[in-house]
Amino acid sequence: MSATAPEAVAGARTGLAGALVVPATLFVAIGLIGPIAILFRYSLNKFIPGQFMVDGLVIENYVKFFTDAYYINVLVRTVRVAVICTLVCLILGFPLAYVLARMQSRFKNLMIMLVVLPLFVGNAVRAAGWMTAFGNRGAFNASLTGLGIIDRPIEIMFTENAVLIGIIAVNLPFMVLTLQSVIEGIPRHVEEAAFSLGANPAAMFTRVLWPLALPGILAGTILTFILAMNAYATPVLLGGPKFQMMGPLVYGQFAQQNNWPFGGAISFILMTATIVLTVAAHLVVQRRYR
């Protein structure tokens, strides 16, 4: 929001800037758009058991998904889990990000490292850890039983709650880091100005901090929402075989059923749902705060 116009990229006149864009663009084109195009083509093919994939141009795979309550259910569950995880990450992450952003201690970098620390452990390893904690005789239930707080173990493992906890734990650092960098860019004086004008902390938050942090909130929620929609290891390991989400479903069609056309169709439905929901949510938010 500075008063001066943004400076042109260094080397803009020599054409160097154009050249700088090429490697990443090529990588994205070859590594992402190519496979997606192929996948889309596959999703229009026919699947005949025993014959693997038969070339065709049909929408029966999409029809199959949207006419079967089981698959609709998986989609709804995935969206629900992703929305809850994103909201919880935002609610838990904002205060933490704010404190980190405003911290002036020399331990600040250490604190940021601590936030990132969970990402040092891979998804599968972490989920395995949660499994030992959440089991009926796991650390969590054993402690509560031992303390006499409960007499029968609480069912956590292989429930939606286990999956929610697992995904939130993975996604929280992404939310915190995104918010922190944006909040750091909001001058402290702007908050102080609001206070001096009579705004209490709640009013300062809703009228000044939140709207100014909105770009970070949008970026953070996009990131965590996409990650949650596409979660794989956590739902498989913590949700168990009966708790299906879209990610594992895609994998199952490709690897276990060998049904590439249907797998491709599910992939596309997942991708489209993610994009549509993300865009829709942000249109709503932006309309409210502009």
Partner 1 sequence: MARLAIEHLRKSYGDVTVVDDVTIDIAEGEFLVLLGPSGCGKTTTLRMVAGFVPPSAGKIAIGPRDVTGLPPWKRNCGLVFQSYALFPHMTVAENVAFGLEMRKTPKADRGPRVAEALRLVQLTGFDTRYPRQLSGGQQQRVALARALAMEPDVLLLDEPLSNLDAKLRQEVRVEIRELQRKLGLTTIMVTHDQEEALTMADRLVVMEGGKVRQIGTQRELYEKPADRFVAGFIGRSAFVDGRIEGDGRFRSKGGLEIACAAATGAGPATLALRPERIAVGSDAEGLANRFSARVEHAAYLGALLDIHVSLSEHDRMLLQIPNRQGFVEPRPGETIAIGWAGDAGLIYPLQS
Is residue 104 a contact point for partner 1 (CB under 8 A)?
no
Give residues 206-235 in contact with partner 1 (rule: CB under 8 A).
207-208, 211-212
- Using DSSP's 3-state secondary structure scheme, residue 80 falls into helix
DSSP-assigned states of every residue in 165-202: HHHHHHHHHHHHHHHHHHHHTS-HHHHHHHHHTT--HH
Is residue 203 a contact point for partner 1 (CB under 8 A)?
yes
C-beta closer to partner 1: residue 41 or 207: 207
Q: Which range in 40-48, 92-100, 109-117, 186-194 contacts partner 1 by CB under 8 A?
A: 186-194
Is residue 185 a contact point for partner 1 (CB under 8 A)?
no
Q: Distance (Å, rounded) from C-alpha 147 to C-alpha 128?
A: 25
Q: Distance (Å, rounded) from C-alpha 286 to C-alpha 224?
A: 18
C-beta closer to partner 1: residue 56 or 215: 215
**Secondary structure of 129-166 in the HEC alphabet?**
HHHHHHCCCCHHHHHHHHCCCCCCCCCCCCCHHHHHHH
CB crowding 190-208: b at 16 or more within 10 Å, else e: ebeebeeeebeeeebbeeb
Residue 128 CB, nearest distance to partner 1 (Å)?
45
Is residue 195 a contact point for partner 1 (CB under 8 A)?
yes
Which string of x and - marks every residue 113-152 that binds partner 1 (by CB under 8 A)?
Answer: ----------------------------------------
Is residue 103 a contact point for partner 1 (CB under 8 A)?
no
Is residue 2 a contact point for partner 1 (CB under 8 A)?
yes
Is residue 155 a contact point for partner 1 (CB under 8 A)?
no
Q: Distance (Å, rounded) from C-alpha 160 to C-alpha 38?
A: 33
Q: Which residues here bind partner 1, judged by CB under 8 A?
A: 1-3, 187, 189-190, 192-200, 203, 207-208, 211-212, 289
